[in-house]
Amino acid sequence: MNKQTIFNWPVRVYFQDTDAGGVVYHASYVNFMERARTEWLRTHGYSNAGLMKEFGVVFVVRSMKLDYLKPALLDDMLEVSAQVKEIGRSRLTLVQTVRRGEELLTQGEVHLVCVALESFKPVSVPEALRSQWKDVE
């Protein structure tokens, strides 16, 4: 896929993430992945607020494809990953997974677009970030 290091973020499953039977709602995985992407971005020196302030841009989700393989449960300690798969002029594709230990629970591909904050029209990914992701094959 690429030479980028896989970023992992720990997530505990809380009651609010589950149904009455203690099984994680399908939509909660989207939230878990969003948290991991936000923290992954921080490892590259930028918060979402920082991107808005410094460059006038924000990354928005264009599409995502998720495969739910096994359920996560109340109180599980999960590891949510994010890894760059592809980078284009204004788009970024990430592969994300949710694991409980070695067990793969959910996997997905998230397509992001870098947009201008004022117009929400696609713009180039800031060079400060692109240069950090340049070794994506």
Q: Is residue 135 part of a domain?
A: no
pLDDT at 67: 98
Q: Residues 19, 67, 75, 135: which is the catalytic one?
A: 19
Q: Which pLDDT band, with edges at 50, 70 and 90, does 119 fall under? A: very high
Supply the range of the domain harboring residue 111. Answer: 7-130
What is the CB-side half-sphere exposure of residue 36 using CA atoms within 13 A? 28
135 among known catalytic residues: no
How far is it, in rounded angstroms, from Cα 6 to Cα 43?
12
- Look up the CATH number of the domain holding residue 116: 3.10.129.10
Each residue's pLDDT tens digit, 23-56: 999 999 999 999 999 999 999 999 999 999 999 9
pLDDT at 4 over 80: no
What angle (nearest 5°) sits at the alpha carbon of residue 108, between those of residues 63 and 53? 55
pLDDT at 136: 60
Q: Is residue 137 part of a domain?
A: no
pTM: 0.92
How far is it, in rounded angstroms, from Cα 16 to Cα 62?
26
Q: Is residue 1 part of a domain?
A: no
Q: Is residue 136 part of a domain?
A: no
What is the CB-side half-sphere exposure of residue 113 using CA atoms within 13 A? 11
Domain count, the chain: 1
